[in-house]
Every structure is written in C-alpha cells, then in structure tokens.
Amino acid sequence: MNKNKKLVEHFSIIAHDAVSEAEEVYDTLSKELKDVRLVREFFMLELKKSIERMDEYFNALRKKEALAFEKLAFIKGFAIIGMAGVKLFIGNEYTISQIANLMTNTFRSKNSDYGDSYFQLYEKYGAIAPAIPIENKCARLLSLLKGKNVEVKEESIADSFLDLACYSVMYAMTVFPYEAVMESRNQRSS
C-alpha cells in the first residue's frame, strides 16, 4: 500500500471511531438545548475543558512526568466536539458518519496539497507541534461562538469545527500508529 493511501486509511479509521460518541453529543444537544445561546455556551465550555486537558498533558510532557494514557483523551474530545459542531451548525444536511467521510476527503486533499507538512512538523518539533493548530482553531471557535466580529468571513463556524476535528484526528495519528490502530480494529472484529 502506498504511503498516501495508508495515511488516508489511518485517518478514516480514527475519524470513524469517534462517530458514535459525536452522534450522542449531537443528539443530546439537539434535544435538550433549543436555545442557540446555550449551544454556543456548551461548546465554549467543552472547548475550554479540552484545552485545559491538553495543557495538562503538555505540562506533564515538558516536566518529563510519566504520562497516563488517559491524559490523551483530549484528542478524541476535540474530534467529537468538532464533528458534533459541524452537524449542529450546518443542520441535518449530513449524518455524523458522512461528516467523518467529509473529514477524510478534506484530509486527503489537503495532505496532498501541503505535502505531509503536518507530519513533518511533528517529526521536526515533536509532540507539541500538533497542538498549535488545534489551539489556534479553538481560539477562532471561541471568538466565533462569542459572536465577535471577525475579519475572515469565509471560514464559518462549521468550517472551523471541521478543521478542529481534522487536526485532532491527525494528532491522534501521531500518537496511535497505523499498525496499532489496525491491530485494535482486527481484535474488535474477531
């Protein structure tokens, strides 16, 4: 299997692994939070909590503390928040599974255009490199959710949530190698 095809398959598996949890978040929000303001507050709170968990992880990493595997939960949290956010802000146009497919197609295209730059940054700068685009996307989302007037109007809230979900899956790819993901998948299916 060529490298790009393997990367796309890796991305797709990880993205689809978060679908059921993202569907649960979406279902809960769409039933219980009819007020758009409350939905925005929920996402702001969840983003802030995930950022705090990410900060704890990187602080432990910098201090060379033993890292508990659970500390990596923020990665999946960002993917789930991202997918549920896309669905909430674009309406019922897509299922969560279709959003995971959209993410995979976006990854395929952008990875081809950018030439593996994300993974090259990870190799060059280490585990902190993937956190930077996630943190930037969270900052943008927090501004959009607060209703701040933004200069870049071409990127909607749904686009920002999609990017956040994609970056979190890409980060998961650096933490959970292809071989481990395939082994886990094979164990679940047998």
121 has pLDDT over 80: yes
Residues 6+ apart with CB under 8 A from 33: 39, 42
Note the helical H segments in the chain: 3-17, 19-32, 36-62, 73-90, 96-114, 117-125, 131-145, 157-175, 178-189
Inter-axis angle of helices 157-175 and 3-17, nearest 10: 110
Residue spans per domain, the chain:
3-182
pTM: 0.84
Calculate mean pLDDT across residues 167-186. Answer: 83
Average pLDDT of every residue of the chain: 82
At residue 176 the predicted structure's pLDDT band, cuts being 50, 70 and 90, is confident
| Choice among 59-73, 75-89, 132-146, 173-187 with the minimum mean pLDDT | 59-73
Write down the pLDDT at residue 64: 66
Q: For residues 32 and 16, which has the higher predicted lDDT (pLDDT)?
A: 16
At residue 105 the predicted structure's pLDDT band, cuts being 50, 70 and 90, is very high
